[in-house]
Amino acid sequence: MDLQQLCQRVIEIARSAGDFIKHEAGNFDRSKIELKGFNNLVSYVDKQAEEQLVNDLRQALPEAGFITEEETATERGDTYNWVIDPLDGTTNFTHGLHHFAVSIGLMEGDEIVLGVIYNPMHNECFYATKGNGAYLNEKQIKVSEAPALKDSLIATGFPYYDFDLTQQYLQVLGAFMGTSHGVRRIGSAALDLAYVAAGRFEGFFEYNLNAWDVAAGAVIVQEAGGKLSKFTEGGDYIFGREIVASNSNIHSEMLQTIALHWKQLLS
């Protein structure tokens, strides 16, 4: 399989879905928001964008299965599976905050080999294929060279439905606030990972994530020279519901900071 050629097709598919989302963003009626659970929002935009993505990706790689947020398609492939979030940052979208993205990853077996993240409002498309580097709108990107946590800007996500770990989270957040240039929470894990790859953030951590939140971003970070793990070294950060991504230089410091306050969560 020519991953680079396939990636160009996936970029076209992501841009097409992004054009639909961008159009709807200008006319969105918040009365059409649905709740999948407490603070877990979904709209017709998420659903229609996912249907479009599934149809187009099925044509691009017929043998592949799907792992999708809105469960438009649930069949799994023997070798290849698309991992899709049609609108990562739905809450931002529904409030008119223009920070959200289409996220598409391709798994070969247990490995992510292709990732595309497209922010239609800023016309920024981040993408990578295994072994071929990471790019933003055709320009190669690399992670930051910041040598230490004290030189770094960190991204995270706040819990929005499971608040049992809030106090532990706040302790970790406070530790990062006191040992870095600051912490940002902008509401899209896919874009947080893309920004680590592009050197805008040095690190990102979050828990209670799903595979579609991180799959595309993981390969983009790796191909940009970054490092990923769970809250301890290694682990399944795609399906393990927690992730730490960094420019590699600060990874150990990030894990140590988390371990000081979330020992009961580490596995």
Say if CB 63 and CB 57 are below 8 A apart: no
Query: Can you list the pairs that 29-35 forms with residues at least 24 positions away whose Cβ atoms lie under 8 Å?
Result: 30/94, 30/95, 33/94
213 annotated binding-site participant? yes
- Cα radius of gyration rounded to whole Å, the chain: 17
Other beta carbons within 10 angstroms of residue 263's beta carbon come to: 10
Q: How far is CA 235 from CA 88, 117, 141, 238, 250, in A?
A: 24, 23, 26, 9, 18
The Cα–Cα gap between 179 and 155 comes to 13
| Helical axes 211-223 vs 189-197, angle rounded to 10° | 0
265 annotated binding-site participant? no
193 annotated binding-site participant? no
**Closest of 122, 139, 103 to residue 214, by C-alpha:** 103
56 annotated binding-site participant? no
List, as residue ranges, the binding site for Mg(2+): 69, 85, 87-88, 213
List, as residue ranges, the binding site: 69, 85, 87-88, 213
